[in-house]
Structure 1
Amino acid sequence: MQRIYEPENLMEAELLLGMLASEGIEACLQGRDLIGGTGELPALGLLGLAVGNEQAQRARELIDAYNGASPMAGDEPDSFPYVLDC
């Protein structure tokens, strides 16, 4: 197993776990149980996504594509231009 990415928060971690699973990549979230200790523990580096060695490169490519994505023009709601409504 390789730790390939440190999500900013639990929501991003769950989103990425789902995205990787939809691509057939089994990933695990390390540090999920440490979130409750924020304040007592350092705030950064608690969460980490880990995948098997043979899937690490593909998982990194998918996460890089996720991080590089931007909303398509016209996807914004009329009342909030430039804000993507998920």
Structure 2
Amino acid sequence: MQRIYEPEHLHEGELLLGMLASEGIQAHLVGRDLLGAVGHLPVSGLLGIVVDDEQVERALALISAYNAALPVDGDEPDSIPDVLVC
């Protein structure tokens, strides 16, 4: 298994796990249990997404596409620009 990505927060990690699972990639979010110790541990680098070695390239491509995604015109509220409405 390889650590391929460090999500900014738990919600992003969970979102990416779901996205990868929907594409048939089994991934794990490591460090989730360490979040309760914030204040005693470094703030960054606690969370990491890990996948099997043979799924690394595909998982990285999907996460890159996720990070490059832009809102579609008309899908954002006027009061909060650059926010997607799901």
Shorter-chain TM-score tier: over 0.9
Q: Which residue of 2 aligns with 1:14?
A: 14
Q: Distance in 2 between matches of 1:63 and 1:6?
A: 11
Q: Which residue of 2 aligns with 1:58?
A: 58
Deviation of the 1:78 alpha carbon = 4.1
Q: Distance in 1 between matches of 2:50 and 2:7?
A: 11
Q: Distance in 2 between matches of 1:82 and 1:56?
A: 30
Q: TM-score, normalised by structure 2?
A: 0.94
- The CA deviation string for residues 1-53 of structure 1, in whole angstroms up to 9 with x for no partner, is 00000000000000000000000000001101000011110000000000000
Structure 1 segments unaligned to the other structure (5+ residues)? none
Structure 1 stretches of 4+ with a deviation exceeding 2 A read: 77-83
Q: TM-score, normalised by structure 1?
A: 0.94
What is the correspondence of 1:7-86 to structure 2 with a 5 Å cutoff?
Answer: 7-86=7-86
Q: Distance in 1 between matches of 2:75 and 2:67?
A: 18
Aligned residue for 2:45, secondary structure, equals: coil
Aligned residue for 2:28, secondary structure, equals: strand
Deviation of the 1:84 alpha carbon = 1.9
Identity of aligned residues (%): 67
Please give the root-mean-square deviation of Cα atoms over the aligned residues, in Å.
Answer: 1.1
Aligned residue for 1:59, secondary structure, equals: helix
